[in-house]
Amino acid sequence: MPFSCPRIGGNLPQVVLRQARCVEFTSDHVARFMSSFSQSRSPRVYSPKNRSHVLKIASPSNFSTSPSQPLMEDPEKLSLSSLDDEAGGKKYSGELDVAVRAVQIACWICQKVQDTLVFKTNDGDGSGSNDKQVHSKDDNSPVTIADWSVQATISWLLSESFGTSNVSIVAEEDVHALSKADGAGLLKAVVETVNEALSEAPRFGLTRPRESLGPKEVLEAIGRCNSAGRLNRKFWALDPVDGTLGFVRGDQYAVALSLIEDGKVVLGVLGCPNYPMKKEWLSYHHRYHRIIAKLTPPASESWDRGCILYARDGSGEAWMQPLLHKNKSLEWPNAAVPVRVSSIDNPALATFCEPVEKANSSHSFTAGLAHSVGLRKQPLRVYSMVKYAAIARGDAEIFMKFARAGYKEKIWDHAAGVVIVQEAGGVVTDARGRPLDFSKGIYLEGLDRGIIACSGARLHERIMKAVDASWNSSCL
């Protein structure tokens, strides 16, 4: 029988099987565990509904009857995922739980920063830029304090939950701009944003730092997300703000976090803070959303804008939950509902998405494809991986992207969206019908011409045939 402890708020198995060896919890084990738990400087409540800080049983070699030998590894930095696996539970459930909560906090950061960018710019309409918060990278793409703040926050939360040595992350941003002599003010703003976000962590069911992070700790958290060199066989891929141009303009953007193991995306979380709950609103100009938001602020119980989509590979399920309202605490599963792709397979009724930016995609080629396949609706041009969310939620049926010559797709721009669409019942491949390969580093190497995501196999097959028929005449 399992033992029950009100302090923990749940049950821990009395017997754990590992490699055909059986380890029993004795009264001495329990006493030493309770002693170490009660001495924690940052106690937390553990329960089956709150898996973000549940404990991971150490290997059998760590168990002994010696009082000097701790029963558990550091409870501050471990998850239930391995215990779940051994007990026949759902693999990666612990990682998914922490990832969803971390992305919830990331969306909270983005909303606060975007409000500053959009409503406090010099011209007041959101079309300008805020010199203190928006900067240009070497490729002239924009980056904001939200990008760095989200990356630092998620990096710290994952390391705190699973242990720094157990976490490998690749992400889009680096510390170059923040480390320069003239970047002191920018770094200060990022540090303040990160600490404000982490102070809210308990509200999301995660731990907060015992002390505020300093510039060194924030730079280390960002720097741990190293996109250079050979990747580990298991790593997290993060795009802290996908669609930064949309973010700066007050339009659509996403926070994308995925876990990749042996080249396969095993879980994905997609935060879409501006995604409207009504499909029709996706095609409205972003200024309309801001006007409506100011005229009719949502009640605390409403769910009019913003959501988190997530899925675990092989589960056959994808889920959506609302963003957490101010002053509310996240109680799992946070009103989550399943999402499923559309059943529409008639091209004349289908809606297709494509990127807003023309720099890395060909609108003319997709327009020709749409005509040849029989698509009649105007394309839905949306920033970021929100396009994948639209497919998974059934708001659109097709996403096509065919990059111009020389452009290479990065894994963090697709990983989370791909697994969510697939588990929601959709199909995602390159133009030859092959699965996207996430095993070759930070780029999707070997990608055949482009990416096609569809709600079903029938539409997907028709688009692939149209690509084959028209590709040689294209200029891509």
Per residue in 202-253, pLDDT tens? 999 999 999 999 999 999 999 999 755 467 889 999 999 999 889 988 889 9
- φ/ψ (deg, to 5) at 185: -65, -40
pLDDT of 460: 95
Q: Angle at Cα 198 formed by Cα 193 and Cα 202, nearest 5°?
A: 145
pLDDT of 89: 53
User: Counting beta carbons within 10 angstroms of the beta carbon of residue 248, is it exposed (0 to 12), middle (13 to 18) or buried (19 or more)?
Assistant: buried
pLDDT of 294: 58
pLDDT of 421: 98
CB 345 within 8 Å of CB 459: yes
In three-state secondary structure terms, 2 is coil
CA distance 82 to 85: 5
In sequence order, the 6+-apart residues with CB closer than 8 A to the CB of 108 are 197, 200, 323, 324
CA distance 164 to 99: 15
pLDDT of 76: 41
CA distance 328 to 334: 11
pLDDT at 19 over 60: no
Q: How confident is the model at residue 5 (pLDDT cuts 50, 70, 90)?
A: very low
The DSSP bridge pattern shows strands 254-261 and 264-276 to be antiparallel
Sequence-separated contacts (24+) of 290-299 with Cβ below 8 Å: 290/118, 290/119, 290/126, 290/250
More confident residue, 429 or 87: 429
**Strand partners for 204:** none
Residue type for 369, please? L
User: Counting beta carbons within 10 angstroms of the beta carbon of residue 10, is it exposed (0 to 12), middle (13 to 18) or buried (19 or more)?
Assistant: middle
CA distance 274 to 447: 30
pLDDT at 79 over 80: no
Average pLDDT over residues 261-274: 96
- φ/ψ (deg, to 5) at 220: -65, -40
Average pLDDT over residues 57-61: 34
Answer left, alpha or beta for residue 26, where phi above 0 means left and psi between -120 and 50 means alpha: beta
CB 384 within 8 Å of CB 246: yes
More confident residue, 159 or 21: 159
pLDDT at 12 over 50: no
Choose, from 207, 244, 366, 429, the residue flagged as catalytic.
244
Provide the strand spans (E) within 226-294. Answer: 234-242, 254-261, 264-276
Other beta carbons within 10 angstroms of residue 32's beta carbon come to 19
pLDDT at 17 over 90: no
Torsion angle defined by CA atoms of residues 54, 59, 61 and 66, in that order, rounded to the nearest 10 degrees = 10
Q: How confident is the model at residue 118 (pLDDT cuts 50, 70, 90)?
A: low
If residue 86 lies in a helix (H) or strand (E), which one and from where to where? helix 81-86
pLDDT of 280: 67
More confident residue, 43 or 474: 474
Reported as a single tens digit per residue, the pLDDT across 402-415 is 887 788 899 999 99
CB 258 within 8 Å of CB 415: yes
DSSP state of 200: T
Whether 144 is a known active-site residue: answer no
DSSP H stretches of helix in 200-242: 215-223
User: Counting beta carbons within 10 angstroms of the beta carbon of residue 140, is it exposed (0 to 12), middle (13 to 18) or buried (19 or more)?
Assistant: exposed
pLDDT of 137: 67
In sequence order, the 6+-apart residues with CB closer than 8 A to the CB of 152 are 190, 194, 213, 218, 221, 222
Residue type for 433, please? G
Reported as a single tens digit per residue, the pLDDT across 291-328 is 555 555 555 445 567 999 999 999 999 999 999 987 88
The percent of residues in the chain predicted with pLDDT above 70, rounded, is 68
Total residue count of the chain as it appears in this document: 476
Q: Where is average pLDDT lowest: 138-142, 270-274, 362-366, 433-437?
A: 138-142
> Which residue has 């510390």 as its token pair?
175
If residue 454 lies in a helix (H) or strand (E), which one and from where to where? strand 451-454
DSSP state of 473: G
**CA distances (Å), 156 to each of 209, 338, 343, in order?**
9, 29, 40
Structure tokens that stand for 70 in this block: 């701790």
Q: Where is average pLDDT lowest: 29-33, 168-172, 333-337?
A: 29-33
pLDDT of 85: 44
Choose, from 84, 97, 147, 413, the residue flagged as catalytic.
147
| Mean pLDDT (the chain, rounded) | 78
> Which residue has 């308990």 as its token pair?
202
Reported as a single tens digit per residue, the pLDDT across 424-460 is 999 999 999 999 999 989 999 889 889 999 999 999 9
pLDDT at 96 over 50: yes
Task: For the chain, report the end-to-end CA distance as a whole number of angstroms.
Answer: 65
pLDDT at 289 over 60: no
**Strand partners for 17:** 22
